[in-house]
């Protein structure tokens, strides 16, 4: 389920029940499920705001069959899911993963069918070094860089609406990104 730009309109794809075109004013919708569309004005007062560094992207990016995705971890090296994150103070580091399908190698799955080999590797990592310091590690070049965060300088923000179910109401998360530099 992705939002794609097409002449200032956004199309939801990959969902069997929803195929509407949304105007730019309705762009507060980012994630929907086949349950239906939940717009920002329908969201109860469980909204939250998360302050994140500018290098982080809460959505994955794609290029043909390659996916780049950030994953965040706590101090126990446990994966933190973005939909359950309530406070960014517990984040210890971010890892940038590159995933793709290797079409030159195959494996046999549990059903005995040959499948292309899925490959996933860490490209870069951002470690929290202190209250306002980060260390960027580039695995391709084996180099690192120390960065300083400027939380008072907000560069951009995104609104994401998580659709609800019958038992659990939906909510909206506002991601605000602050500047990080040398």
What percentage of residues in the chain have a pLDDT greater than 90?
Answer: 38
Domain ranges of the chain: 1-27, 38-181
Q: Kindly report the CA angle at 175 between 173 and 181, in degrees rounded to 5?
A: 165
- What's the predicted TM-score (pTM) here? 0.66
Are 102 and 117 in contact, with CB atoms under 8 Å apart? yes
Which is it for strands 48-53 and 171-181: parallel, antiparallel or unpaired? Answer: parallel
Task: List average pLDDT for each run of 10 residues in the chain, which is 182 residues long.
Answer: 38 34 34 39 65 88 90 88 78 92 90 92 92 91 92 90 79 89 86
Q: What is the pLDDT of residues 10-19, one digit of tens each?
A: 333 333 333 3
Q: What is the pLDDT of residues 71-109, one digit of tens each?
A: 999 888 889 887 777 778 888 999 999 999 988 999 999
The first and second tokens of residue 18, run together, are: 């929803």
């Amino acid at each position: 389920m992705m939002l794609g730009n097409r002449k200032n309109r956004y199309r939801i794809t990959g969902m069997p029940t929803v195929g509407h075109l949304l105007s730019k004013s309705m762009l507060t919708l980012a994630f929907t499920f086949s349950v239906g569309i939940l717009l920002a004005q329908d969201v109860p007062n469980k909204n939250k705001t998360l302050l994140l560094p500018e290098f982080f992207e809460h959505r994955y990016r794609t290029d043909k069959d390659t996916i780049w995705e950030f994953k965040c971890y706590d101090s126990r090296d446990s994966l933190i899911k973005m939909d359950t994150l309530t406070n960014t103070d517990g984040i210890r580091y971010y890892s940038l993963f590159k995933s793709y399908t290797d079409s030159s190698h195959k494996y046999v799955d549990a059903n005995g069918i040959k499948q292309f080999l899925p490959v996933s590797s860490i490209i870069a990592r951002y470690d929290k070094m202190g209250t306002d310091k980060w260390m960027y590690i580039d695995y391709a070049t084996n180099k690192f860089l120390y960065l300083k965060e400027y939380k008072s300088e907000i560069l951009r923000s995104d609104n994401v609406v998580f659709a609800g179910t019958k038992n659990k109401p939906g909510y909206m998360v506002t991601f605000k990104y602050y500047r990080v530099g040398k």
